[in-house]
């Protein structure tokens, strides 16, 4: 087990990439805080992880609120005894044409998808430095952090920011033996895509294998990035998009 007794937080842990990543991290021996606004889902995931022999606790959090993120970090240290990193994964989508994107629609996505990553890294890194604990942050960016999409001005802006925040934080935290990396998923078969089968098929065709990517595929990369095997990866954003960018540029 490459992460035995590591203390980690996963946001957006109630479903999708977050839930599957929590399972993958637990399989490597990590103890976890499963954080989500959906406390019922987080509780279910934490219960499943506990049955696998690791410590796991649910925590209800609105990641767009700095005070709640700070409280989550304190809760993690209280329950797990230390902190070795966080998977900043919580996110939402809100599609609107640019000319119809009012400030509320813009800021809602920015606050959840971008500001939460800053809050998570800031409060967790401060705690880790105070504890003398080395570790890793993994942030969820997106293919839309580098590729523009119609109706996604808010999402494009947030995910592009996550990519640069990952680089900047990696630079600042390296002296403390804390790595910061990101994953950039393609179109993943999770609830955020909704239930429109035609839309899902269209999105899947943009991958080289012509289908949506299952969240377990992203989770396996996330788990690897937390391990010492990935110690030479720092500040980078790793695409998990089945050739989307190659396909788009070919």
Task: State the pLDDT at residue 191.
Answer: 81
The string of pLDDT tens digits covering residues 149-187 is 999 999 999 999 999 999 999 999 999 999 999 999 999
Task: State the pLDDT at residue 193.
Answer: 84
Interaxial angle between packed helices 116-131 and 153-173, expressed in degrees from 0 to 180 and rounded to the nearest 10 = 20
- Asked if 121 and 88 count as a contact pair (C-beta separation under 8 A), the reply is yes
Sign of the CA dihedral with 40 first, then 214, 218, and 195 last: negative
The string of pLDDT tens digits covering residues 39-65 is 999 999 999 999 999 999 999 999 999
Query: 192: pLDDT confidence band, cut at 50, 70 and 90?
Result: confident
The string of pLDDT tens digits covering residues 59-105 is 999 999 999 999 999 999 999 999 999 999 999 999 999 999 999 99
Averaged over 229-239, what is the pLDDT? 98
Give me 68's structure tokens.
């709640």
Q: What's domain 7-249's superfamily in CATH? A: NAD(P)-binding Rossmann-like Domain (3.40.50.720)
Give the number of other CB atoms < 10 A from CB of residue 51: 10
Question: What CA–CA distance (Å, rounded) separates 184 from 218?
Answer: 9
Locate the domains of the chain by residue range.
7-249
pTM value is 0.96
Q: Element (H or E) spanning 36, and its range?
A: strand 31-36
Question: What CA–CA distance (Å, rounded) separates 227 from 205?
Answer: 32
Angstrom distances, CA of residue 30 to CA of 101, 151, 161, 223: 41, 38, 28, 10
Question: What CA–CA distance (Å, rounded) separates 14 from 18?
Answer: 7
Sheet bearing 56-60, strands edge to edge: 56-60, 31-36, 7-11, 85-88, 135-140, 178-185, 237-240
Task: State the pLDDT at residue 248.
Answer: 67
Enumerate the active-site residues: 155
């Amino acid at each position: 087990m490459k992460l035995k007794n590591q203390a980690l937080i996963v946001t957006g842990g109630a479903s999708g990439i977050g839930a599957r990543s929590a399972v993958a991290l637990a399989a490597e021996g990590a103890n976890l805080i499963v954080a989500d606004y959906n406390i019922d889902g987080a509780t279910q995931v934490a219960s499943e992880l506990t049955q696998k022999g690791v410590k796991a606790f649910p925590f209800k959090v609105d990641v767009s609120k700095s005070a709640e993120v700070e409280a989550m970090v304190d809760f993690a240290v209280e329950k797990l005894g230390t902190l070795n990193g966080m998977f900043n994964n919580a996110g939402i989508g809100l599609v609107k044409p640019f000319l119809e994107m009012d400030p509320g629609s813009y800021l809602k996505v920015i606050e959840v998808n971008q500001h939460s990553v800053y809050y998570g890294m800031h409060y967790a890194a401060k705690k880790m430095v105070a504890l003398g604990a080395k570790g890793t942050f993994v942030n969820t960016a997106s293919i839309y952090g580098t590729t523009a999409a119609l109706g996604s001005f808010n999402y494009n802006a947030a995910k592009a920011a996550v990519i640069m925040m990952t680089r900047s934080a990696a630079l600042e935290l390296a002296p403390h033996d804390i790595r910061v990396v990101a994953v950039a998923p393609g179109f993943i078969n999770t609830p955020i895509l909704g239930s429109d089968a035609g839309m899902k098929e269209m999105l899947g065709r943009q991958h080289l294998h012509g289908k949506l990517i299952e969240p377990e595929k992203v989770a396996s990369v996330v788990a690897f990035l937390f391990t010492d095997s990935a110690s030479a990866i720092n500040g980078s954003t790793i695409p998990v998009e089945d050739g989307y960018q190659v396909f788009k540029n070919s």
